[in-house]
Structure 1
């Protein structure tokens, strides 16, 4: 049997893309705050007071990953985690002042990193690329949640 051309396999290309993103993130944005941690912090800057489950859903993280990310952000003093007075099982999350400052700094760096990451593409290609990634990501999300039909 002949070797498979992995350049035609989206999963292989997605993994390579993720590796490139990780390298750029750690060199241009932060070695301490991961991309998923930034995503949760960003969601909380946009909507302070989200509960932990909703914050994770906003950024596409599963429950256990969200819990770990929130714990790390809380330990760093970037997020306040307060029990919901109406439901003791839920935690309401807000960025601290340090969390808001960190978010502003990382958002600027992430914007620069995205310019480098998408640099090989023209502006029109970047728009198409992001649209296609969004569509594939949304379809993949619905595979995790079978209650929502997959629309191609």
Structure 2
């Protein structure tokens, strides 16, 4: 009985190839994208997550950390560190909310806006380089499928 179970478990293990699993392939694709980002960024000290955070502040205007977490899909602990680094570089400012003094509001400073304006054209290049092996239909399909996987709140998913 134990030998039979061991044989079945061995067969399942042999069928499972981690390098063919969605998580592994997504991680490899993301690592490639990050490499392309770093090699094309105007600012070598700007990470992709910092760029997303600056984009969110540009789009939303002054925001709380909770709002940034929601807009960027970056966890609370990570966004806290990103905010600290962006503030240290003089790209954002922190202030107290006028209504709720306990709430910290994060705002994009002119220097942060300038970094964004320089990075927007690079962002297009980075996306293009990331998907350069895909034909137009594959690009549409990839973005559609990634949105479908990522959108946990969508009742149709």
Asked if these proteins are the same fold (TM beyond 0.5), I'd say yes
| C-alpha separation in 1, matches of 2:34 and 2:56 | 20
| Mapped contact 1:7–1:13 kept (Cα < 8 A) | yes
Is 2:70 aligned against 1:54? no
| C-alpha separation in 2, matches of 1:124 and 1:131 | 11
Matched residue, 1:146: none
Is 2:119 aligned against 1:106? yes
| C-alpha separation in 2, matches of 1:98 and 1:110 | 18
Matched residue, 2:101: 88
Matched residue, 2:5: none
| C-alpha separation in 1, matches of 2:31 and 2:75 | 21
| C-alpha separation in 1, matches of 2:22 and 2:126 | 23
Three-state SS of the structure 2 residue aligned to 1:120 is: coil
How many residue pairs are counted as aligned between the two chains? 144
Matched residue, 2:87: 74
Matched residue, 1:145: none
Q: Return closer, same or farther for 1:150/1:6 CA change in 2, 3 Å cut-off.
A: farther
Q: What displacement does 1:51 show?
A: 1.4
Unaligned runs of 5+ residues in structure 2 are: 1-9
Scaled by the length of structure 2, the TM-score of the pair is 0.84
| C-alpha separation in 2, matches of 1:49 and 1:70 | 13
RMSD over equivalenced CA pairs, Å: 1.7
Is 2:136 aligned against 1:123? yes
Is 2:40 aligned against 1:28? yes
Larger radius of gyration: 2
Three-state SS of the structure 2 residue aligned to 1:87 is: coil
Three-state SS of the structure 1 residue aligned to 2:117 is: helix
